[in-house]
A and B are shown apart, each in its own frame.
Chain A
Amino acid sequence: MPPAGPTDLLRITGLAKRFRGGGGISNVTFCVPAGAVTGFIGVNGAGKSTTLRCALGLLKPDAGEIRLFGRPFSLAARRRIGFLPEERGLFPHERARDAIAFHGRLKGMGRYAAFAAADRLLDRAGLGARKQDRIAVLSKGNAQRVQVLAAMVHDPELLLLDEPLSGLDLIAQSELLSLLAEFRGRGGGILFSTHSMSAAETICDRVVMLSAGHTIFEGAVPDASALAPHGAIVVTADAEGLGAAGAMLGGHIVPVAGAMGEAARWCVVLPRHITHPVLIRVLAERGVPILAFEPIKAGLEGAFWHLAQHQPLESRAA
């Protein structure tokens, strides 16, 4: 983790929270600086929502430290945060404008200011004509946009967004991303939780990767992408032949989860100058039966896969 900076809006160190039914997080450490979008990446169940809930004081962590705006967690500091929860929903009987203003007032805004901000945001998001509509009659995408606006209405310094793009069509996603870009441009910090690597690559300046309750990477997006290995996932029953072919090309094989009958899944890591057709040709020449062949994707997805595979076994078990 980079050293604590003066512009860190959120800093989490060694956070742990276990649940009675299993699961949770074991060792999460990262920071969210101002003026940047930090992607919070992990598969479903990795512990992203649990981390966000701990950061907001909705869950009491078992261990670790949370500092908001350079100080220990406090309710006053929480008012400076905008939060879009994973459990999304608004009061269906409320009008869009009222719903946004209500959240602003809950965060300490005056009545007039809250309604003025709600009107401004609705106009900005292209929902000005729907401001008097009840949430129940809005489409799912529009209702979600209203909730994002409700998280931003009090002009927070830090936005914690849990899967903000899920359920939105491409146009709505694009509008939301431009809203977030504006927010970042004003110096706000965003923690953007998602399991979509492509979304993270589109908007994020830096990423925090979470796997099985552990932080496995924190840094700039290009640095993360550079960690993606070159190679392919191969499903075969002949592990010996596959290993020999990989070694002949200067690479090696790593077992990965997901067997298909007697065949197992393997990751063949290759030097960057060896292309996938070369690997296929060598396997064919050696008579290695191939049930499935999938090139490892470059970028964040490949990096995440690689890092998640190489974290300590005890972490993976958690």
Chain B
Amino acid sequence: MTSPTWLIAEREFRTYVATLSFWAALAVGPLAAGGGVLLAGNAYGPIRPVTIAVASHDANLAGAVRAALNEAAVLDGRRLAFTNGGARVTVTAPGPETIYLHLEPDFPLSAAGRALVARTLERDAARRASEAAPLTVRQFAAPEASPLRREPGQVARLLLMAMLWLTLAGSLGMLLQTVVRERATRSLESLLAAALPCQIMAGKLVGVGGVSLLVLAAWIGSSEALALLVPKSGLALSIITEVTRPVLLLRTAVIYGLAYAFYGSITVAVGALARDSASAQNLSRPMFILLMAAFFIALAQAMGSPSASPSWLLYVPPLTPFLLLIYPAGVLSWSAQLGLFGLMATASFLVARFAASRFALGEGGAGFFGANAAAG
């Protein structure tokens, strides 16, 4: 015997998946994503190398620094071109044991890349003169304006956030349709006679969620596969680095799941409150506006604009998943993140409870059927 929740979920899943149009639409996504990755690869990869100017009185030293920078650039997925313009690094050697590297503000190298430059120079110096005193490399660079902007995975996080928005916008539309459809096809009463409102609601959430998961997996999987085909693409490597870290992957999955549960429950409540498809569309409009606002607030936060939202917005449940995706895992402590997960789960539960009560005929007065239930 299968639980009504799974039966309803299976039916919802089959309804969407067992159509040619679904698979045609599914194929378009990966193709578009692949095209995007290719374009990004072209935009940020080998075709447009980062120009660097190395200023030094010592030609040997300048050559060593160029070699070290090239090695470090590989780590960041970049290609460098050394010219007289571009980002400037000034190299001086006040003594045989010390090299000073002055990196100008916004120097296009990650913290890890910079550390690698220093280690490479030290290693090379040690090789060249093993009898000489140990060499120390000190770097001087302006502090970064915004830690969010300088993270190499920030673009990937932005993409994940945008993908969450796209996933939610698509799946919530489907979910709204499935809820309203039961009324439109007059089949809700049959379902309610055999399953509890919460089972129907959960079944619809799981079924449509499964469809969204399939779409998401196709998008991410095909994008990664295509990204791997683009050698030394900075953006592609950033995406792969970001989304293939198991802990980050798990974190992202939890955020997606909670965001879907929260917005999905709101959608079911909207569908249950609506009398017909037209009123469902009208009632759902504020929710989609909220969804869009959340996206732009998170975007503004990521861009570090002057009007960027303060961190308290993290604790506003509709915004929480988007802002959580924008912040790197390291910026917020795990306890703070777990607290936010708990907040979202609680908010989702409360909304789901309300939605289930709207689904039921028996909760006070006319319930789900409105005035129609009044007449026998």
Contact = CB atoms under 8 A, between A and B. Distances in A.
A109 B363 CA distance: 29
Nearest to B1: A108
B173 interface: no
Given A56-B193, A89-B185, A21 B363 contact: no
Interface in B351-376: 361-367, 369, 371, 373-376
Contacts of A150: 190
A51 B375 CA distance: 10
B1 A110 contact: yes
A58 B366 CA distance: 11
A107 B374 contact: no
B373 A59 contact: yes
* Interface size class of chain B, counting residues whose CB lies under 8 Å from the partner chain: 20 to 34
Contacts, number: 99
Contact of A57 (B15, B185, B191, B362): B362
Contact of A19 (B1, B185, B366): B366
Interface SS, B side: loop
A107 B194 contact: yes
Contacts of A71: none
Contacts of A105: 1-2, 7
A24 interface: yes
Nearest to B197: A58
B102 interface: no
A310 interface: no
Contacts of B226: none
B363 A60 contact: yes
Interface stretch (A40-48, A177-185, A252-260, A292-300): A40-48
A85 B190 contact: yes
B186 A53 contact: no
Interface SS, A side: loop
B365 A46 contact: no
Contacts of B2: 105, 111
B4 A106 contact: yes
Interface in A228-269: none
Interface in A19-65: 19-25, 42, 44-51, 53, 56-60
B186 A87 contact: yes
Interface string A212-239: 0000000000000000000000000000
Contact of A89 (B186, B196, B367, B375): B186
B361 A58 contact: yes
Interface in A76-114: 78-79, 81, 83, 85-94, 102-103, 105-111
8 contacts: A19-B365, A51-B376, A58-B192, A60-B362, A81-B193, A85-B193, A91-B187, A107-B194
Interface of A: 19-25, 42, 44-51, 53, 56-60, 75, 78-79, 81, 83, 85-94, 102-103, 105-111, 147, 150, 210
Given A50-B373, A60-B364, 12 more contacts: A19-B373, A23-B375, A25-B376, A42-B376, A51-B376, A83-B190, A83-B193, A85-B186, A91-B185, A94-B11, A108-B1, A210-B376
